[in-house]
Amino acid sequence: MEMENILVVDDEEAIREVVSTMLESKGYRCTAVQNGRVAQDQVKKATPDLVLSDMIMPEMDGIRLLEWMRQYDPEVPVIMVTAIHDISTALEAIRRGAYDYILKPFEKDQLFLGVGRALQHRRLIIENRNYQRNLEQLVEERTAQLTAKHVELEQSYDDTLEALGSALDLKDAETEGHCQRVTAFCISIARSVPVPDQYLPILARAAFLHDIGKMAIPDGILRKPGPLNDDEKQIMRKHCEIGYNMLIRIPFLRDAAEIVLAHQEFFDGSGYPRGLKGEQIPLGARIFTIADSLDAMISDRPYRRALPMSHAREEIKRCSASQFDPAVVDVFMTIPEQHWLDLREHLGSPFRLAHLKNL
């Protein structure tokens, strides 16, 4: 252990020498000065581990030195030395922040005991500070490790989702790339609404997997070139609930599952499967229906060519309050047409959910 430094402050040279000699015999390093003013200069040069100060001195007395030390470095303990008849002054010093006091004339044991206690107090303060600092550093390191693992885990989730999306594209080749485009459109609208940042990955996964229930729809219905009859429509409509039942069992997709279940609901209550109305429909689903309709209109279909962006925007505006949430439509209409064209053009291939962070 390093030798501890004690600053002895007393206007009597003989006392300074005696006290310093006694303390040095116990293995302490001592510096002795004659008053509080000189003590200040010494402290500024090298902060001591303990100040042992007389009360009554010229230029700056012990109480003023104590008050200055409390400001300069409150961790350094100060022991006041006072005459037996000045005990009330010593108690006043304790109230002002002195660690302890020693009465003159003092015995060696009294001096060593007081100094030992004060230095132990300082060691505990330093150890506690170092412990806190090390603990904060450890928490930062562990937090960084957990964050890295969380990012890695989320990426593995998204890799799985991308594989599912690719499988759906293979089954429903007519709408190839639709999931990717709708996901990107959803995030663009959501950022403008705006929604909380933590909601964006939930919405992205829901949009990407909105048609996952179609994996269970027979190919004869899914790929039928003409319009579906009533029975076939009823079967097709089950894809919302099928998708929900697939996703609700996966913990990190439970919130997304609610959006998947509601993605065919209409604002006026005429949608399916539950006929939800207005704000009964999750916000993510209300955003999704606009993104989905936009992509459907501006994409080629077997029965028609892609419609102009201007037509799609007018149609979405026309269906405000019936199919779509008017508040979300208003947000959508503030986004320039060119944004959607650029987004569609530069979506990226192969598509990665991670790309959505840069939209």
Which CATH number covers residue 324?
A: 1.10.3210.10
Kindly report the CATH number assigned to the domain that includes residue 123. Answer: 3.40.50.2300
Number of Cβ within 10 Å of residue 280's Cβ equals: 12
Instruction: Look at the chain and report how many structural domains it folds into.
Output: 2
Full residue range of the structural domain in which residue 349 is found: 172-358
Active site residues: 214
Q: What is the pLDDT of residue 149?
A: 87
Same domain, 189 and 126: no
Taking alpha carbons only, the member of 253, 193, 242, 195 closest to residue 215 is 242
Question: Which tokens sit at 236?
Answer: 């097709």
Same domain, 179 and 113: no
Question: Across residues 21-35, what is the average pLDDT?
Answer: 94
Same domain, 237 and 120: no
Same domain, 209 and 327: yes
Q: Check: CB of residue 125 under 8 Å from CB of residue 103.
A: no
Same domain, 184 and 233: yes
In the chain, the percentage of residues whose pLDDT exceeds 70 is: 91
The rounded radius of gyration (Å) of the Cα atoms in the chain is 38
**Band of residue 323 on the pLDDT scale cut at 50, 70, 90:** very high
Same domain, 188 and 277: yes
Whether pLDDT at 349 is above 60: no
Looking up tokens 């500024």 gives: 44
Taking alpha carbons only, the member of 5, 2, 359, 9 closest to residue 185 is 359
Number of Cβ within 10 Å of residue 270's Cβ equals: 11
Give the CA distances from residue 308 to residues 291, 302, 345, in Å, rounded to whole numbers and listed in that order: 15, 17, 15
Does 142 reside within a domain?
Answer: no
Q: What is the pLDDT of residue 322?
A: 96
Query: ∠ CA(341), CA(342), CA(348), 5° rounding?
Result: 115
Show which of 104, 132, 160 is a domain's final residue.
Answer: 132
- What mean pLDDT, rounded, does the chain reach? 88
Does 157 reside within a domain?
Answer: no
Rounded distance between C-alpha atoms, residue 193 and residue 203, angstroms: 13
Does 152 reside within a domain?
Answer: no
Does 194 reside within a domain?
Answer: yes
